[in-house]
Structure 1
Amino acid sequence: MTQATEAPPRSRRAPRRRGGGRAGKIILLVLLALVLLLGGGLWWMYAHLNGNIDSVDLDKALGDNRPKKVVAGAQNVLVLGSDSRSGANGDLDHGDVSGARSDTTMLVHIPEGRAKATAVSIPRDTLVTRPECRTKSGDTVPAKKRVMFNELYSVGGPACVVKAVETMSGVRVDHFVEIDFAGFKGLVDALGGVTVTTKERIHDSKGGFTLEPGTHKLDGTDSLKFVRTRYGHGDGSDLGRIGLQQQFMLSMLTEIKKQDVFGSPTRLYKLADAGTKSLTTDSDLASLTALADFAKSMKGVDADTMETIMLPVAYDQIDPNRVVVAEPQATDLWTAVREDKKIPAAAKKSPASGG
């Protein structure tokens, strides 16, 4: 593995420890919403919502050469936020852009008993060894070293990302959930907007987004610009964008609680419909009943019991704008996840973030 220098210049694109797990919490809330939908007797809505969900057969795509399950009762869910901008997503960011990348990637570990969860965020700029992957057309893409993590999706889709995560961690991925830009916009609009407060002016001339200091209620389109803006905030790096994403997700959770979404069948259906329209899962979760059963099994998990950690990384010695997996911290972290044990404090420290 490529080694990192002791103290190279701090990258403008350096990852940050905070905020990666918020998207996973939103998806979890959507799954819990589906549980309440079914429990409320709204079965007549089943066919419509069920038809919204796309799926990927991971067993078929990955074959038998996968990590073995160590703890039977634990679950590991790979959550992806895709920046696909084709089709319905073409108008949501900066116009139609071919291909897609995994803009947000988290491995959510739910221990045996399912009363809490840990989300391990994998920085998008991490250099990894890409395993041999198969494309949707059936072609084989050879293994390659020093590939940026968020490029895996564009090469081999979600199955390639799952394979890479399993290869680097030794952790068996039980389920896969992906939501794209259109799904994010739809969730915000289904809530009627999300209120955010900014202390500094945001002016992203490249993205065409300006927000003056103060309190604003953002619709889905402006919310997407808010969490995607980079050049008009702070020093123009990914650090500032991660901070905005964390702030927005906290505001979104607050909005969900304030509206008592789960107490209104109409609002709940609207949220579930928006969430499932841009949802892709593994084939085992690709139905409303399967999602509901899975969510029921996690009823003890909520936003307050989910811990967020970043995969420990260090600056790459060749390109300080990229990071590499830091050892031995990463091995200790993955071992704890694999064996369903408490993650040591030392395994949560990331040289690239100063932690």
Structure 2
Amino acid sequence: MPQEKADLRNLSEPVRFKRALALLLMTLVLPGSAQIVAGSKRAGRWAWRIIAGLLAIVIFLVILGLIWRSGTINLMARPGTLRIIQVLLILLAIGWAALFVDAYRIAQPMTLERNHRLATSILDAVLVFVVAGALIWASAFVNTQRDFVASVFGNGQKSKAEHGRYNVLLMGGDSGADRIGTRPDSMTVASIDADTGRTVLIGLPRNLAKVPFPAGTPMAKQFPNGFQWSKCAAECLLNAVYTYAAGHKNLFPGDPNPGETATTQAVSAVTGLKINYYVLIDLAGFRDLLNAVGGITLDIGKRVPIGGGSSPIKGYIEAGKNQHLDGYHALWFARSRAESSDYERMTRQKCVMSAMLNQLSPQTVLTKFQGIAAASKQVVKTSIPAGELGTFTDLALDAKKLPVSSFSAVPPLIHTGNPDFDLIRTKVAQAIQKSEALDKAASEGDGKTTEPPKSTSTKKPSTPAKKPTTSPTKPANDVDDVASICKA
């Protein structure tokens, strides 16, 4: 060390200053290199080993992501994995800051003239602040992700795809101060192809009466002829199943979510589909979620009132192309009933879902994740386990590339007061078969799209369509392309 100090004194002051800057910049580009060149070679080698190990892990994960995207996302989204990453980022921040401080020491700033010593000190402080600060911010970001996954996604049982499809019940719950309990006023089944992500949205009106329940379930024993009894009459509708089950928890011993369970079972019986999971969104907080992602853009064909019903109309969302809606206006666009029917409202809700699917890019989610996570913890409840997050993220990325189709069980095809459930199940099966035919044509090169299925798993045919028992007047097109609906 004395010899090194003597050598430094033999250098001109400008050279010593350039050497000091070089040592700091070397630490920025390759941590440990300053120690290898002019300090403790042992410390430098340890820094290089750690960097090499981290790079190897990153390269492995990138390759794994290219081969098995959903599995990689599942691995990285686990709360335990995220906790490890958070701790590693904090340790990396501390270690890198220590290397900057040591590089500053090696540069021997006291041998520099005042201005050069000040410049070196400022540069070192800035580098420590920027690099360590960025890593600490990243650790906070990871902690938000971990908290989000732990809060929103549970440790529930994984549900396998049925006939090659995942069926997820999307419910919009409205539990305001003027409401008795929670009533999911919006119910849509997203039937998702487990290979391609192609999605069919199946809309069920909230006022569907006499809904059945699967045999052997508590509600089927309570209502063997469907959800109806002499005392509730018109109140025994699909959206009241949730409230009834939540108020009769004794029918569901040990079940912490009887409302969701009963509603899921009813929807399964109505559509003929196995419902794998549910997602319940509190509409009162939906506005914050949409604001967090920057709103959505829609083509609006008819102006929609803001307010109405028990409150006065405060204004209108005007018709027009490429209308950008913030959370407040998007929520009213989705939920407004004034001057329209429930069935028109169902169509608007599908437009909002489709817009969110198509417009929420991974970049948007990443850059605005803190706000999304904070809002989602308040408004989203789901039975999708954390271990399936990667599967559905993967499917969502594929679904963005494909058009979304839909079927709604609404008049004149379906009389909601006395529904033909066989007909509903028939139309649901036909909608799914039509969607699967598009994938088959694409895989055979007959369609306009050429994307092959992601996996080579053998898919069972969808539930065969039952012959309708009645033949009421039907719309010109039972299965709609959502993109064609949501246009001015």
SS of equivalent to 1:109: strand
Once the two structures are superposed, what CA deviation does each residue of 1:283-331 show, in whole Å capped at 9, x if it has no partner?
A: xx233x4323443366433362432222477677xxx663513545634
For residues 371 and 350 of structure 2, the distance between their equivalents in structure 1, rounded to whole angstroms, comes to 24
Does residue 173 in structure 1 map to residue 271 in structure 2? no
For residues 332 and 223 of structure 1, the distance between their equivalents in structure 2, rounded to whole angstroms, comes to 30
Partner of 1:8: none
Which AA in structure 1 matches 2:193?
A: P
| Residue of 416, 419, 431 corresponding to 1:324 | 419
Which AA in structure 1 matches 2:241?
A: L
Deviation at residue 278 of structure 1 after TM alignment: 2.0
Structure 2 counterparts to residues 1-355 of structure 1, below 5 A: 35=73, 38=76, 43-53=142-152, 74-85=164-175, 90=176, 95-131=177-213, 141-145=222-226, 146=228, 147-156=236-245, 157-195=259-297, 202-203=304-305, 204-206=307-309, 207=311, 208-211=313-316, 213=318, 217-231=324-338, 233=339, 236-249=340-353, 252=356, 255-256=359-360, 260=361, 262=363, 265-282=366-383, 285-287=384-386, 289-296=387-394, 299-302=397-400, 304-311=402-409, 322-325=417-420, 327-328=422-423, 330-331=425-426, 333-334=428-429, 340-341=461-462, 351=472, 354-355=475-476
Deviation at residue 255 of structure 1 after TM alignment: 5.0
Structure 2 CA distance for partners of 1:189 and 1:323, relative to 1, 3 Å: farther
- Asked whether the 8 Å contact 2:199–2:399 carries over to 1, the reply is yes
For residues 72 and 212 of structure 1, the distance between their equivalents in structure 2, rounded to whole angstroms, comes to 40
Please say which structure displays the higher CA radius of gyration: 2
Q: Which runs of 5+ in 1 are unaligned?
A: 1-31, 60-67
Q: Identity rate of aligned residues, in percent?
A: 18
Deviation at residue 277 of structure 1 after TM alignment: 3.2
Which AA in structure 1 matches 2:346?
A: I
- Asked whether the 8 Å contact 1:311–1:350 carries over to 2, the reply is no
The number of residue pairs the alignment matches comes to 289
For residues 318 and 275 of structure 2, the distance between their equivalents in structure 1, rounded to whole angstroms, comes to 42
Which AA in structure 2 matches 1:245?
A: Q
Which AA in structure 1 matches 2:425?
A: A
Structure 2 CA distance for partners of 1:307 and 1:48, relative to 1, 3 Å: same
SS of equivalent to 1:98: coil
- Asked whether the 8 Å contact 1:312–1:325 carries over to 2, the reply is no
> TM-score, normalising length from structure 2?
0.47
For residues 461 and 190 of structure 2, the distance between their equivalents in structure 1, rounded to whole angstroms, comes to 12
Hey, which of these two has a bigger chunk of strand by percent?
A: 1
Deviation at residue 209 of structure 1 after TM alignment: 3.1
- Asked whether the 8 Å contact 1:116–1:305 carries over to 2, the reply is yes
Hey, which of these two has a bigger chunk of helix by percent?
A: 2
Q: Which runs of 5+ in 2 are unaligned?
A: 1-69, 86-140, 229-235, 246-258, 434-458, 477-488
Deviation at residue 214 of structure 1 after TM alignment: 6.0
Deviation at residue 154 of structure 1 after TM alignment: 1.6
For residues 329 and 423 of structure 2, the distance between their equivalents in structure 1, rounded to whole angstroms, comes to 41
* RMSD (Å) for aligned C-alpha atoms: 4.5
